[in-house]
């Protein structure tokens, strides 16, 4: 690839019709504000430019935008049927014992009761035990602290999903 050549996956994304690109970005992040910001930045010259725009958009989400983004994420241990992204990302829970799955359900409910939204963590590469330990640790956080942790976790998830979106394979 020559220095001024856009990678094929990114070129495909840049060339998508607006509504198709909107739908693809909405699969990455359910926040309308985030999607609009990334659409406004097209075309992207490099994947890093796309990722930086995604990071900036995530950092700029209001509390309402963040809530909208989180609404697109199912609880850990219960990926949405027919949603390959959440099933792939939560693979660490797939082989978990029934005891661990039940414990995660209970912890998810307690977390949601306290914070008003699902427990969000970048689950890619994490075991069920690591996710359980994270929710146990984070449930004691103050709401403001937890909101910023959620924002950081959302940013990690968005980057992984954006990379998959523009992957050349």
Q: For the segment 97-142, what is each residue's pLDDT rounded down to a tens digit?
A: 889 989 999 999 999 999 999 999 998 889 989 999 999 999 999 9
The model carries a pTM of: 0.90
Residue 109 CA to residue 76 CA, distance in Å, equals 11
| Dihedral angle sign, alpha carbons of residues 14, 20, 25, 28 | negative
Least confident of 58-62, 76-80, 114-118, 121-125: 76-80
Query: Residue range 6-13: average pLDDT?
Result: 94
pLDDT at 75: 77
pLDDT at 93: 78
**pLDDT band (50, 70, 90) for residue 162:** very high
pLDDT at 54: 97
Q: Nearest to residue 162, comparing CAs of 6, 13, 43?
A: 13
**pLDDT band (50, 70, 90) for residue 2:** very low
């Amino acid at each position: 690839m020559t220095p001024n050549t856009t990678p094929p996956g990114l070129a495909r994304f840049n060339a998508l019709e607006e509504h198709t690109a909107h739908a693809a970005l909405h699969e990455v992040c359910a926040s309308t504000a985030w999607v609009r910001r990334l659409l406004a930045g097209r075309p992207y010259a490099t994947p890093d430019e796309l990722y930086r725009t995604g990071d900036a958009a995530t950092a700029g989400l209001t509390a309402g935008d963040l809530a909208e983004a989180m609404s697109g994420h199912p609880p850990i241990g219960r990926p949405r049927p027919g949603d390959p992204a959440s099933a792939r990302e939560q693979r660490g829970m797939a082989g978990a014992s029934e005891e661990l799955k039940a414990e995660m359900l209970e912890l998810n409910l307690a977390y949601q009761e306290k914070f008003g939204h699902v427990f969000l963590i970048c689950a890619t590469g994490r075991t069920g035990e690591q996710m359980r330990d994270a929710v146990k640790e984070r449930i004691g956080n103050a709401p403001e602290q937890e909101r910023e942790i959620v924002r950081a976790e959302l940013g990690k998830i968005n980057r992984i999903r954006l990379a998959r979106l523009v992957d050349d394979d």
